[in-house]
Amino acid sequence: MNSKKPNPFIRSPLITPERVRQDPAKAFAVVAPWARTWAWSCDDPEALRAEGHDVPLAVILGGKHKRAFGLSAYQFAFLNEFTRLGHSVVTNTNGKGPNPGIYAKASFRDAPQDNMPLSRIFIEAGPNEAVSTLDILSDLRPENLYKVGAGKPTKFAAAKVLFHCERLARERKAGGTLPEGFSVQAYLDNLRALLDAIFAKPQSAVDEA
């Protein structure tokens, strides 16, 4: 007998930028299993209804090494969608000192060699670019991240994520394990739309440019 609990998220509607803007609380009513422990940074219902897409949130990541990470609503939506079909979000630690740093990573199903820190995805890091935080290590919002030159990374982070999302979606379609009516193209288009929302400059920054 298979005792594994079904995952209702895989059959739930896509979390689109439009849903996040219109009603973020409803958009996140059903989330991926790893994302069940999360909270808004604001507890004002009116503010959330009016500006929830701009309100940061905190989500607990990791199994053995747990930590709360700060995300924007669009980032949270993207991570849910990125993991919808079998990829995951994990943590690791540098293991140094009494309070070792804990980092969040994207974990790709059947491609562990491409696992990468979430911070690289959220600042569009490319080859020979590492990512650091300006202030709080666990704040993964783009405004707290910056890129520095480095020799080790060899890939464009966001493009690699999209590659593995498409790979897994098409593998599952070929194997007949996608939910009925699931559109691979709509899924991929939504991932790109969420990345666009994450990378979009605030209007104030555009006006000042």
d(Cα 48, Cα 53) in Å, to the nearest integer? Answer: 8
Q: Is residue 162 pLDDT above 70, yes or no?
A: yes
* Distance of alpha carbon 83 from alpha carbon 58, whole angstroms: 18
Locate tokens 């999209």: which residue? Answer: 162
Rounded Cα distance between 95 and 101, Å, is: 7
pLDDT digits (tens, 9 = 90+) for 46-101: 666 666 567 789 999 988 888 999 999 999 999 999 999 999 999 998 777 667 78
177-208 b/e (C-beta count within 10 Å ≥ 16 → b): ebeeebebeebbebbebbbebbeeeeeeeeee
The H helix count followed by the E strand count for the chain is 8, 8
Average pLDDT, the chain: 84
Interatomic CA distance for residues 109 and 38, integer angstroms: 24
According to DSSP, the residues that pair with 61 across neighbouring strands are 67
Give the separation between CA 43 and CA 30, rounded to whole angstroms: 19
Domain edges within the chain: 13-175+186-197
pLDDT 10s digits, 110-130: 999 999 989 889 887 766 577
